[in-house]
Amino acid sequence: MGEHMGPGISLVILCALSFLICAPAQAQDADKIISAYVKAAGGSRVLSRVQTLSIEGTVAGAGDGNSGTYTFDTKLPNRYYSELVLGGKTTIESYNGKSAWRTDPSGNPVTMFGQDSTDLQADAQIANLRFLNLKKNKVSAAFIGHAQVRGQDALQVELTSATEVKHEFFFDPQTHLLVKESAAVGGSNEEIFYSDYRPESGIQIAHKIEIYRGGDTFSIEVKSATVNAPIGERVFDLPLRSQVKLPDLKALFKEIDDNEKAIDKIKEDYAGTSTEDDFQYDSDGKEKKHDSSESTFFYMDGEEISQQVKKDGKELTDDEKKKEAEHAQKRVEELQKQQAEKEAKKEKEEEKGKKEKDDDDVGIEIFLRTCEFVNPRRERFRGQDVLVFDFEGNPEYKPRNLAEKIVQKLAGAVWVDEKAHDVTRLEAYFVGDAKIAGGLLANIQKGTGFVFEQEFINNEVWLPTYEEAHVGVRVLLVKGFRVTTVTRYSDYKKFHVETNSTIAPPKTQ
């Protein structure tokens, strides 16, 4: 090749070396920046002892002459409350560890869902972490680069939660303290600027805060900051005036359970289309793989049986389609065999005058035994009147089997259509690790969460419309992985499985 490399080869090698050197350096720089902030803010030992933080101050609008009050409370592990009272209007955003809620333009509290809820839950987690133990809590950090904040140099770090919510944080290179943060809030971007830091109970607290949210500007002066003062759980819950008397849950859940069993048979008259996006992440939260697929599906014995028709946007080959059809047919035959065995077993039990129950069956009764239900309220959800309530594990209940142990680890919120006797939305997450076989087989990690929505189709059957899962799990004590799966259901049509050898096409309407 001669004594000297050509300019093109030199450029390629330099670019490759730059990538190899800079890629790991970015993560290292993010860790260094965060470590410097933690030290400047009071040190990890002091920050790790913060159980609660309560901030009170005054707030002024931009040039309108109005003034009001500002309240901000956090409490471990993930409680969050932000309140602005200005010009006769109260704006609240809160997460109580089960559901996120805010006040609407009329000042009425409403439950948040979808991306708004996910964003606020991430806000709550990051606010309580105080930049400590990020990896342990499945929050990744990346150094973005240098940025200008009000004419001054700043170091920009991006945090990404396990639910893929991104927050931008900007640190002063000299003081190492936070000068700005930026995040999506309610579909728009919110920017918060911090200055005038003063020590409070050993930690540095910004006493001047400016919030830019949509077209609104709020200038806040902190009057007091209290660390580790008692903050009751009621602070983060919806106001009592918005709550209603909780109905007889045992009766309500029995109606839902009976309705679901009846619906399972009606479901078998329907087929639909589903699209699924799967994202896999490495230990640093970086996306390493994205798969997408489209499938047609139908129901049998309450189970969804699908046949993939597209993968990553491309039609399957004829051979692949044939294999999918054979797999679906095999599953139909298996279910029909199981149905026959169930019927035979049921007849024998009836003859003996007894009825056996599977201890690990996750039914409505398990939720009634293992969970507490709080904050009942009536709201509008997708044009329907619904009952919404939060749930969490009952700490006084001693679980008797694996199913109860898993359900007791859940917290979240349920949206129920009381008239139609079914759940329209369920949002839940694991408040702690859930171990299967003592963790030998699998360990479902804290923070793993899921969302489920369904609608009333053709005025006769409830069918799923949306599912979302954020899963962190370690299998066989060795392999750990994080995945996010989003499934959307559509195009429901009449369908019928005619025999154990024929899957009929959709019925014409």
Delineate the domains of the chain, giving CATH numbers in brackets. 27-240 (2.50.20.10), 245-354+361-494 (no CATH)
CA quadruple 128, 130, 131, 136: dihedral sign? negative
pLDDT of residue 497: 53
**For the chain, what's the residue count?**
509
User: On the CB side of 234, how many CA atoms lie within 13 Å of its CA?
Assistant: 4
Enter the tokens of residue 509.
Answer: 């309407």
pLDDT of residue 355: 52
Amino acid letter, 5: M
Q: Are 97 and 72 in contact (CB under 8 A)?
A: no
Q: What span, in angstroms and rounded, lies between the C-alpha atoms of 280 and 161?
A: 14
The burial of 365, by beta-carbon neighbours within 10 Å (0-12 exposed, 13-18 middle, 19 or more buried), is given as middle
Beta bridge partners of 70: 57, 84
Rounded-to-10 torsion of CA 99, 103, 104, 110: 30
* E strand intervals along 431-477: 434-436, 442-444, 449-457, 461-475
pLDDT of residue 27: 57
Enter the tokens of residue 126.
Answer: 């990051």
Enter the tokens of residue 458.
Answer: 């053709």
- H or E stretch covering 265: helix 249-267
**For 428-460, how does the pLDDT look when each residue is reduced to its tens digit (9 = 90+)?**
999 888 777 665 566 788 888 999 999 988 888
Per 3-state DSSP, the chain is made up of helix, strand and coil in percentages (nearest 5) of: 25, 45, 30
Beta bridge partners of 204: 199
Beta bridge partners of 26: none
Q: Which residues of the chain have pLDDT under 70?
A: 1-28, 63-65, 185-188, 283-285, 350-364, 437-442, 474-480, 496-509
DSSP annotation of 269 reads T
